[in-house]
Amino acid sequence: MSGQLKEVRERIKSVISTQQITKAMKMVSAAKLRRAQQAITEIRPYSDRLQKVLKHVLTSLEGEADSVFNRKTELKKPLIILNTSSRGLCGAFNTNILKAAIAEIEDKYKSNEADGSLIFLCVGKKGHDYVKKHYNKCVIIADWVNLPNHMSFEQVEEIAELIFEKFENGEIDTVEVAYSRFKNAGVQYPEALRYLPVAQLDTDYSKKKHRKRADYVFEPDKVTLLNELVPSILKTQLHRYFLDTHASEHGARMTAMDKATENAEELLKELRIGYNKARQAAITTEISEIVGGAAALEGA
């Protein structure tokens, strides 16, 4: 009986220690989430507006001036940017992003996966490890697995420049981004979106009678402006994807650690009840032995 009580005491100590860790991780993620949420909240309207401007400009100038980033391409050398976290303990966060990427691959790039022409760029260790294990025929052109607390714009520029160079050289012809769009601490939406070539406005929509073609005034000339404007907007868009994933990660981890703390509390209640029952049983047994021994002595 004493051995059983000792085992339960050890389990209680272990659960208390784990609960302290989950509480601390929840508090850390909550603090980081506030900063990450502020960053994505500030950049999202700016990024959305720039994306609309880019589509309108490229659609309006179709045939007059063009950018390498909106050329029509074939699906021969697609690139998947897989944006996950480098750490776990965040629930199904990474799994959901991977599912979104897998669904996109199954839908569009199954033949590329089969012949090994599918290319990956991994931001985050979890995505990198998954690709190495399940897509060993495919190439990882670059990876950023040891990330700081967040992706700075300078790091995003480095990634974007690499993508632009390979896209311009024809080494890749399509780019998709798998990331997690942040809504709040409890809700994140894993998505896989086309990044390059830039999607223009729907042709039928832009040609409707009540739609007027925008007459933009360019200073300097159209080609020079597009060469400067398009890469800048695309870098901002990529930064927004990474900030979304960063905020989603901390929201998911905070929620997961909160749930883990609650589960630990429930387990502690059960263990303490079991411990008290075992202890009462041991005391009852000892009392019975003492009473029995006393009765035997009196009879003697």
* Contacting residues for 84 by C-beta, under 8 A, at least 6 apart: 93, 94, 97, 98, 122, 123, 124, 125, 126, 127, 130, 245
Stated length of the chain: 300
CB atoms within 10 A of CB 26: 19
- Residue 90 known to be catalytic: yes
State the catalytic residue, choosing from 25, 40, 54, 90: 90
Pairing mode, if any, of strands 187-196 and 174-184? antiparallel
What distance in Å separates the CA atoms of residue 201 and residue 15, rounded to the nearest whole number? 56
Annotated catalytic sites, by residue?
90
